[in-house]
């Protein structure tokens, strides 16, 4: 028996969290379902909580192996996390909206959402600890308030939860794919279709474990769906609207690479580390353009532009937008100047 199995029962929170089981979780084991909702907790911890009758299904005690049914009502008192929370960091952040339950943040590029893999300082999580007195902690002490994430070099809109009940309701909306997300991207090449979609499977690259790839169904592959729509075509670039229905790691970046239109200056999937003014001026260079060697953008040209969801407390539909950051605006201005069709 492992040390975790033989250790004392975990301390439990006093406030239960109420969850309604969604259709795609039908047939899942209870302990597996809770692990999917709260990945920071192990299955063993949930099994202990279930034995303590800290997890109820439709008001009754249940076993870890109980299979979920659509619209089951699950009440769970989560195990308390150790009080070794992430230290706050006085980092300026753009707070788009705030009330007693949520905050909306416009995350800059080159900011990691939460600590990991040697990056423990300068994170959004540390900044949130400084700016807000109360945040949810169900995702763990290193992810206060974090309901979803953006890649380090992707900018844009994010929602933050201020308590665990709110966190659970927001997470359920993401799980049920009720949250509408819109991104803006600049990609290489002229896209052929005005709009289209990609419905593929994705998995971890077999050799480069930090990368994802489009793959066949089966094994650990997971479905990934992205709708795209052209906003503006240029001679050698396209400005595009991206609407993911799923939320796989690097999904938009992988999908754009898959159709041979990688996102501009995506170091992992696009092969370029920077875009300069002379890169877009091309054969139409003038004496003025030859002098314009300034870097336009040196991170993936991807921005989380819009987020729509129902307020977790009032149920009111909410919609938030974050304007394009300066580097993407500068790039588009250069494309308008040098890459417009004649």
Which positions are annotated as active-site residues? 151
Take residue 280 and report the two structure tokens written for it.
Answer: 């877009």
Sheet order of strands, 17-20 included: 17-20, 73-76, 55-57, 60-61
| DSSP per-residue codes, 154-176 | -EEEEEEESSHHHHHHHHHHHHT
Helices (H), the chain: 3-6, 30-37, 43-51, 124-131, 164-175, 251-258, 277-281, 287-291, 326-338
How far lies 336's CA from each of 61, 90, 97, 326, in Å? 63, 38, 32, 15
First to last CA, the chain: 73
Q: Check residue 53 and give left, alpha or beta (phi > 0: left; psi -120 to 50: alpha).
A: left
User: At CA 109, angle to CA 104 and CA 111, rounded to 5?
Assistant: 80
- The interaxial angle of helices 164-175 and 30-37, nearest 10 deg, is 100
Neighbour tally for 290: CB within 10 Å: 11
Using DSSP, state whether 310 is helix, strand or coil.
strand
- What is the β-pairing status of strands 275-276 and 222-233? unpaired
Using DSSP, state whether 114 is helix, strand or coil.
coil
Say if residues 335 and 328 touch (Cβ distance below 8 Å). Answer: no
Using DSSP, state whether 112 is helix, strand or coil.
coil
């Amino acid at each position: 028996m492992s040390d975790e199995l033989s250790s004392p029962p975990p301390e439990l929170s006093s406030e239960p969290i109420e969850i309604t089981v969604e259709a795609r979780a039908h047939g899942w084991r209870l302990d597996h379902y809770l692990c999917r909702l709260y990945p920071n907790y192990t299955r063993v911890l949930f099994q202990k909580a279930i034995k303590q009758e800290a997890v109820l299904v439709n008001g009754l005690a249940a076993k870890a192996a109980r299979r979920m049914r659509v619209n089951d009502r699950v009440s769970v008192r989560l195990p308390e996390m150790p009080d070794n929370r992430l230290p706050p960091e006085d980092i300026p952040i753009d707070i788009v909206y705030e009330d007693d339950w949520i905050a909306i943040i416009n995350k800059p590029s080159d900011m990691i959402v939460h600590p990991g893999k040697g990056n423990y300082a300068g994170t959004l999580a540390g900044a949130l600890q400084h700016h807000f007195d109360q945040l949810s902690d169900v995702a763990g002490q290193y992810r206060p308030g974090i309901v979803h994430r953006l890649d380090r070099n992707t900018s844009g809109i994010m929602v933050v939860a201020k308590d665990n009940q709110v966190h659970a309701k927001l997470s359920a909306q993401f799980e049920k794919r009720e949250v509408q997300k819109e991104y803006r991207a600049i990609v290489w090449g002229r896209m052929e279709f005005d709009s289209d979609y990609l419905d593929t499977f994705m998995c971890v690259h077999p050799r480069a474990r930090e990368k994802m790839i489009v793959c066949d169904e089966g094994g650990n592959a997971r479905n990934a769906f992205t709708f795209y729509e052209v906003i503006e075509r240029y001679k050698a670039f396209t400005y595009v609207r991206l609407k993911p229905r799923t939320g796989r790691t690097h999904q938009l970046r992988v999908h754009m690479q898959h159709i041979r239109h990688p996102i501009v200056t995506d170091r992992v999937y696009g092969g370029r580390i920077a875009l300069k003014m002379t890169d877009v001026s091309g054969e139409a260079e003038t004496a003025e353009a030859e002098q314009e060697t300034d870097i336009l953008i040196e991170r993936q040209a991807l921005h989380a532009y819009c987020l729509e969801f129902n307020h977790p407390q009032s149920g009111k539909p909410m919609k938030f937008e974050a304007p394009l950051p300066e580097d993407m605006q500068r790039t588009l201005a250069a494309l308008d100047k040098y890459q417009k069709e004649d």
